[in-house]
Amino acid sequence: MLGAALMVWGWAVAAAADSVADTYFRYFRPSGHIDEPALNELSGLAVSRRTAGRWWGLNDSGNAPMLYAMSPDGRSQGQVTVSSLNTDWEDLASYQRDGQAWLAIADTGDNFGFRSQVSIWVLPEPTLPAKGIAQTREIRFRFEDGPRDCESLAADPQRGRFLLIDKGRKPAGLYELPMTFTAGSELAMAKRIADLPLIWEGPVPPALPAGVERYRGTPTAIDLSPDGRKLLILTYKHLAEFERRADEDWPQAIARGPMRIVRLPRQRILEAAGYEADANSALIGGEDEHAALWRWNGRFPPAKAPAAP
């Protein structure tokens, strides 16, 4: 009797494992592993807007102020030192504006909520091999409702703004910030334009320590499609996408829904995501030395029918 029960239990576990694997590989495929040892706390990813087959990545706080170029399978293509301090870099955005390819670094991490001002560092996308230190320009700003821990940055060059989402508070807020450089004591303001729904309310993922439970449903990275119509959001457990109509802005799109969502592959901490050049798929990665990179194929599970009244 016990043997039969164990056999049934084994079949159930195997079936569940097959189901999970099928779910993962229906929407995600391994893309490769980061082969640059120094890029061991990947916190931001952005596709190149000037060189096909190139991605840029950066490390989290306390690391050298470096940008790392790589292929989609993680092979190193070189690195660039930039002129700004890595206080707490958390995300990276790439975009085209005025005929120029740009990168924007979000120096916006604030785990303890004590930074009265934070920065976005902007630079023309570098060429390789690097020629000296890449010079950045600063947009120094504060959030209109007080300090926020923010790990998510997207560029909206058509409307001349950046979009940011804070982390760890409920509800998370979507903010907009003009793409205007600051100088001297000048301080820009990030305005809250929408509240986001909590994307995932279940228990903290098993691979994460209990101390990060408050972060489980809030964004660790975002990206905006080049046409400004799709907003990709990464959390520790899911990848989600909002889409706005041509006649609406993000507050209306977020309030309207629906949100498309897919469960992520199991990996310890996934903190970086960016659309590929056509915005029909994305690359996702996370912390750890030689961390895995995953390619999302742009598909989502079918929407569930509403429950009968």
| pLDDT for the residue 217 | 65
What amino acid occupies position 142?
R
Cα angle at 168 between 123 and 33, to 5 degrees?
Answer: 55
Are 250 and 174 in contact by the 8 Å Cβ rule? The answer is yes
- Cα–Cα distances (Å) from 42 to 33, 45, 47, 128, 286, in that order, read 12, 8, 14, 20, 5
State the CB neighbour count (10 A cutoff) for residue 251.
15
| pLDDT for the residue 72 | 97
Structure tokens at 6: 């164990």
| pLDDT for the residue 153 | 98
Separation of alpha carbons 106 and 244, rounded Å: 24
- Whether 83 has a pLDDT exceeding 70, the answer reads yes
Are 116 and 68 in contact by the 8 Å Cβ rule? The answer is no
Are 138 and 84 in contact by the 8 Å Cβ rule? The answer is yes
Residue ranges per domain, the chain?
26-296
Res. 237 pLDDT band, cuts 50 70 90:
confident
> Whole-model pTM?
0.88
- Whether 216 has a pLDDT exceeding 80, the answer reads no
Mean residue pLDDT across the chain: 86
Q: Which residue has the tokens 């750890």?
A: 288
Q: How does pLDDT run across 52-72, given as a tens digit for each residue? A: 999 999 999 889 999 999 999
Label the pairing between strands 188-195 and 137-143: parallel
Are 242 and 231 in contact by the 8 Å Cβ rule? The answer is yes
| pLDDT for the residue 304 | 61
Res. 9 pLDDT band, cuts 50 70 90:
very low
Determine the CATH number of domain 26-296: 2.120.10
